Amino acid sequence: MQALRSVNLTIPDGQFVVIVGLSGAGKSTLLRCINRLVEPTEGQILADGVDITRLGEGELRAWRTKVGMIFQNFNLVNRSTVLRNVLAGRLGHTSTLRSLLGLFPRSDVELALRCLERVQLRDKAFSRADQLSGGQKQRVAIARALCQEPKILLADEPVASLDPPTSHLIMQDLKRICREDGLTVLVNLHFIDLAVEYADRIIGLRAGEVVFDGPVSEVTEKTFEEIYGRSIRPDDFRGRGDR
Amino acid sequence: MSRLSPQAPDRGLFAGIPGAPTPWTRVRNLAIGVLLVALYLWSARATDFSLGRLARGVPEMGNLLIRMLPFERVDLPGGGVAWRWSNELLRQQIAFLPSVWGPLMETLRIAIVSATLGSLLAVPVALLASRNLVRYPWLYWLARGFMNLLRTIPDLVLAAVLAGAFGVGVLPGILAVTIFSFTVVAKLLSESIEAIDPGPLEAMRAVGANRLQAIAFGVVPQVLPQYIAYVLYVFEIDVRASTVLGLVGAGGIGFTLQTSLRLLNYRAAFMIILVILAVVVLIDTISNRLRERLL
């Protein structure tokens, strides 16, 4: 079965794009095709004129260093320190021998600490990742992605495992950092209010096909009913969770 | 017998549900039960195993035990035999203890060397035998096959074959226990690796890490505590294994035990068994404590 069908999108540099759809609509697959964690069966993905579906092994790794990724389950190494987790973002830029011995250049360690500072977690550098809260873990994951010095950031349901207030904090961090660095961002979300609040542009996926693509100003409740193929329900909203 | 009739439940409760038990499920389970009982009876007959023989053996054990303890044999005038406690024999037994030290250390050294070598060799093979790390199925099956093949050879057979090649002594013992340790650690480690959280590994692929880097940063931290626990565990087994191999001529305390048994010096053998028991309990306890703290 195909997860995606006749998807045709152009994303300009620096745009904050939110991809919306029910689970199973193909959001994850779309995101993972971009760094080829999933191999597309046909079609092209062009980045600066280069078809990344045709990259060889070494070229693919070089491409991946330019694409940071954030996951729903953070995907940190729980038993390692926060700093080591963030430094893992430098692996694509570090020789095998150096990285196996843990001998990252001083400039990389400085970069990693700066990235942690940007997510307000510098003082946690030597804590073990499993001692952090969910929101802190996701911020470490953001720092790891930033440490790659990427051009593109992919975020696959980055707040689905977090509570409402933390969800907003993470989205704000993401938005602020990406503005500062001029990153192009693709975020998968299924919460309507988060999508509308943070996106420049919304892409709606339903059963593997793009059913909506436009600026956030054109989006109405009706748009989401079309994307979801059903009426809107309260649990489609993350809410503020304010006390 | 109506329960076995191949219709009844089909029409009932589970009708139309895939995987529901059919009447034949019951027939099959009964057949398996009958087969297992038959297998046991067949084996018991062939080996002449019976409770009666077991009961007749127990007094013999008592007889053996008394000759291991410091009792002096006294021939009674009427032709009977009595046993009398002897402080002199006890002193002899205690005086025998220091001579056990050398062979005991040799056994421990065999265990340490073998556990270390075997555990190190296990790492690359375990990595290749983990489905979630290896891209080529043939490589995975090759590593699996190699591991499984070695594991089918009992350590005693291995020692006997190696003794044929290298002569009787410590070397074939070390080789046999090393291979044995390798098979145990490789198997356990590859299972641990296959059970890791795939998330960090995916994240490592996403940052552009190569295979070795992904393993070092995504896999090693996840399995290191288990690996150390396996090394300790295999060391425990190796202490026992190298003792047993000593019995077949691979040196160490097992060889000393074998010698005293051959010379019918049961009181010496008893002291050796006591020492082995104490050492094994001590090492198992320490190693268990360490493993509990690790996991």
Alpha-helical regions (H) of A19-133: 27-34, 57-65, 82-87, 96-100, 106-118
By Cβ distance, the residue of A77, A92, A99 closest to B222 is A77
User: What pLDDT is recorded for position A232?
Assistant: 83
| pLDDT, tens digit, 9 for 90 and up, residues A128-168 | 999 999 999 999 999 999 999 999 999 999 999 999 999 99
> CB of A187 within 8 A of CB of A17?
yes
- A76 to B200: CB separation less than 8 angstroms, yes or no: yes
Residue of B136, B192, B207 to mutate, testing the A interface (most A Cβ within 10 Å of its Cβ):
B207
Which residue of chain B is at minimal alpha-carbon distance from A130?
A: B222
Q: Which residues contact B219 (CB under 8 A, 6 or more apart)?
A: B127, B133, B193, B196, B200, B201
Residues 189-218 of chain A whose Cβ lies under 8 A from any Cβ of chain B: none
Record the tokens describing residue A194, joined without a space: 């988060």
Please report which confidence band the pLDDT of residue A242 belongs to, taking 50, 70 and 90 as the band edges: low
- The count of other CB atoms within 10 Å of the CB of residue A235 is 9
Of A75, A92, A144, the CB nearest to B208: A92
Average pLDDT over chain A reads: 91
Q: Where would I find the beta strands (DSSP E) of A110-200?
A: 152-156, 184-189
Packing angle, helices B155-166 and B170-194, rounded to 10: 140
**CA distance from start to end of chain B:** 52
Among B188, B155, B146, B189, which residue's Cα sits nearest to residue B174?
A: B155
**What pLDDT score was predicted for residue B1?**
45
- pTM for this structure? 0.81
- What's the pLDDT score for residue A59? 93
Question: Looking at beta carbons, which residues of chain B come within 8 Å of A76?
Answer: 200, 203
* pLDDT value of position B202: 94
Please report, in tens digits, the pLDDT of each residue of chain B (295 residues total): 445 445 544 457 777 788 888 888 889 999 999 999 999 988 888 777 777 878 888 888 888 888 888 888 888 888 888 888 888 889 988 988 899 999 999 999 999 999 999 999 999 999 999 999 998 999 999 999 999 999 898 878 888 888 888 887 788 888 989 999 999 999 999 999 999 999 999 999 999 999 999 999 999 999 999 999 999 999 999 998 888 888 877 778 888 898 898 898 899 999 999 999 999 899 989 988 988 888 7
DSSP E strands, B7-75: 71-75
3-state secondary structure of A212: strand
Q: What is the mean pLDDT of residues A46-70?
A: 93
How far apart CA A153 and CA A233 sit, in angstroms, is 30
Rounded Cα distance between B162 and A178, Å, is 65
The answer to whether A196 touches A218, Cβ cutoff 8 Å, is no
**Residue B60, CA distances (Å) to B53, B69, B287 in order:** 11, 15, 36
pLDDT at B11: 59
Burial of residue B273, with CB atoms counted within 10 A of its CB: 0-12 exposed, 13-18 middle, 19 or more buried = middle
Please tell me which of the candidates A77, A78, A91 has its beta carbon nearest to residue B207.
A91
ipTM above 0.95, yes or no: no
Residues from chain A contacting residue B203 (CB–CB below 8 Å)? 69, 71, 75-76, 88, 141, 144
**How far away is chain B from the Cα of A102, in angstroms, using its nearest Cα?**
10
